[in-house]
Structure 1
Amino acid sequence: MSRFLAVSTLVLSVLLTILVTVVCSVPIIVAGMLKLLLPIPFLWRAISAFCNFMMYCWCEGLSWLLHLNPYLKWDVEGLEGLDNKNWYLLICNHHSWSDIVVLCVLFRKHIPMNKYFLKQQLAWVPFIGLACWALDMPFMRRYSRSYLIRHPERRGKDVETTRRSCEKFRHHPTTIVNFVEGSRFTEDKRHQTRSPFKNLLPPKAAGVAMALNVLGKQFDKLLDVTLCYPENDRTPFFDMLSGKLTRIVVRIDLLPVNEELHGDYVSDKNFKRGFQQWLNKLWLGKDERIDVIKAQYKNAGQ
């Protein structure tokens, strides 16, 4: 692709993405304001259904934008057996801003609308922050270990936020999405966290454990999703916007929500230790799978 075409595609993609986001988020924000003014459960359910429909329209708009790239190919395994009338907990590695676009576009017709655990800073992003608030997405504030030592009263706040948010999802089928690494992967972050994985940051178990504890057996399945951009590993989001993204690889494992995954992560030390071991083992398999995917496409390109 020529430099001129890449720049032109980037400008057009950014403008169209902003347009689609504004058109879909404004009705969601207005509906969210109505939810505040009219605290009636029946109206809340109707407003939530409308907000989910507008989010679906946003996902459709993103899908249309991705189709503008004639070079993009999808390699997806594991979509079979999904149902948009079920409850799912979706956990995924986090490599780029493009991950959210991929998950929204890929799953929009297969499972209920995704509800993301978001960083507190995203609440201040124009349109997006208010729309996510109206969609009842939980905003999480991450604290460093040194900060928690100085302010022990802040310990456990994210767990409480998770509990309150999950309570809202009892009444209609929902997909709760948690990027359990807590941040996008970079080599610098991998070294800073002393990650034992080559392609991933260490997983944070508290949010997933609390979601499983609050909604309990209401979750039909746990979706373990692995994302990889084997030909655009360095800057997938920029490449997506500029039309240079060539391949998206997604592997989906549908896992049972067994009894041993339900427990008190905050107070039960034995359960906490066992849950962390389970999640780390899952992450080890994910790390090895990403290695295999990268090697597969590297060899194919030689």
Structure 2
Amino acid sequence: MLASLPTFLRVPLVCALLFVSTVLHVLPLFVLALLRLLVPVAAVQKGIGAVLVRIAESWLSINGWLFGVFTRTRWQVEGVDGLPLHENFLVVCNHQSWVDIPALQKVFNRRIPFMRFFLKSQLIWVPLLGPAWWALDFPFMKRHSRQQLEARPALRGKDREATRRACEKFRHLPVSIMNFTEGTRFTQAKHDAQGSPYTHLLKPKAGGVAFVIDAMGEAIQHILDVTIVYPDGPVTTMDMLAGRIREIRIHVRRLTIPPSMRGDYDNDAAFRERFQTWINDLWAEKDARIAAMASRAQVPA
């Protein structure tokens, strides 16, 4: 019934309910995160961390439920059954829209360990969400332009240090590390500017994937290779809120990380070339998969 409401009623209503859900979940996150700072006892901090994750999972569940009752979006999801809840994963995915994030959260929430993203440092100032991400141990990264790096060479490697510190923490708790391997959302303009060899994808940035695998060590054994397709074309967050996305298709496959794909990406040229070939092959397979998924007969909304 709620999905049948006119758009001018449905969008403000779902936004209001999402805001209420956010406030009700974020406030206890703040309190517990402050308590964790004030009580430097490892056992207490670990227990509080587990409670923080449970609160976040509740938050995502309610958000997913709201999208379910306010829209008629059909979900075709393959490959998520039987995933181990207590195994660490590196999740790699193509990136087209901000809708990718709530879509991934809806599909993986409580199926795999809670997902963390590497976020731009500026996002910590987003009201409510920024401090919540901080409380949940999302790593914040300072991105430096080429001009900044040329002016201040000492900044080189700072992101790698931050990534390594985050991964050191992640080694000791169940975690799924999310990586949009293209580094930015796909657009045809970006695709053409890159001269991408793929039809539906930008070039993958292999270095970030290699560094996380190296930093996590034996604590991470598998990659979840995720492919998202919107059969009707590009979508926006407002399309999702307004119920204009008729269908979302998601394919997941679990891949073992070969021993040969662990090494020093920065300093070992042979390994770097081998790892880039592996990621490029993965991306070629994903490109073909996107074409196959997009060509399937659409399910009526």
Give the shorter-chain TM-score range: over 0.9
- Alignment map for 1:1-302 (pairs within 5 Å): 5-231=6-232, 233-297=233-297
What letter matches 2:268 in structure 1? D
Mapped partners of 1:31, 1:297: distance in 2: 48
Deviation at 1:112, TM superposition (A): 0.8
Q: 1:192 to 1:20 in 2, by over 3 A?
A: farther
- Residues 30-53 of structure 1 show CA distances to partners (whole Å, capped at 9, x for unaligned) of 222222222221121011101100
What letter matches 1:130 in structure 2? P
Mapped partners of 1:281, 1:142: distance in 2: 28
Deviation at 1:70, TM superposition (A): 4.9
Match of 1:59, SS state, is helix
% identical aligned pairs: 39
Deviation at 1:294, TM superposition (A): 1.8
What letter matches 2:241 in structure 1? L
**Matched length:** 298
Equivalent residues of 1:13, 1:242 under 8 A apart? no
Mapped partners of 1:163, 1:291: distance in 2: 36
What letter matches 1:255 in structure 2? L
Answer with 177-186 or 51-60: which moved more: 177-186
| TM-score under structure 2 length normalisation | 0.92
Match of 1:290, SS state, is helix
Mapped partners of 1:131, 1:158: distance in 2: 21
Equivalent residues of 1:229, 1:236 under 8 A apart? no
Deviation at 1:7, TM superposition (A): 2.5
Q: 1:14 to 1:193 in 2, by over 3 A?
A: farther
Deviation at 1:200, TM superposition (A): 1.9
Q: 1:181 to 1:140 in 2, by over 3 A?
A: farther
Deviation at 1:194, TM superposition (A): 3.2
Q: 1:165 to 1:58 in 2, by over 3 A?
A: same
Mapped partners of 2:245, 2:74: distance in 1: 9
What letter matches 2:63 in structure 1? L
Equivalent residues of 2:95, 2:186 under 8 A apart? yes
Equivalent residues of 1:162, 1:207 under 8 A apart? no
After TM superposition, the runs of 4+ consecutive aligned structure 1 residues lying more than 3 A away are: 144-147
Equivalent residues of 1:158, 1:207 under 8 A apart? no
Over the aligned positions, Cα root-mean-square deviation in angstroms equals 2.0
Mapped partners of 2:220, 2:30: distance in 1: 28
Mapped partners of 2:71, 2:191: distance in 1: 34
- Residues 155-196 of structure 1 show CA distances to partners (whole Å, capped at 9, x for unaligned) of 222211111001111222211111122222222222333322
- Residues 88-142 of structure 1 show CA distances to partners (whole Å, capped at 9, x for unaligned) of 1111111111111111111112111111112222211111111111111111233
Match of 1:182, SS state, is coil
What letter matches 2:145 in structure 1? S
Equivalent residues of 1:93, 1:200 under 8 A apart? yes
Deviation at 1:4, TM superposition (A): 7.9
Which structure 1 segments of 5+ residues have no match? none
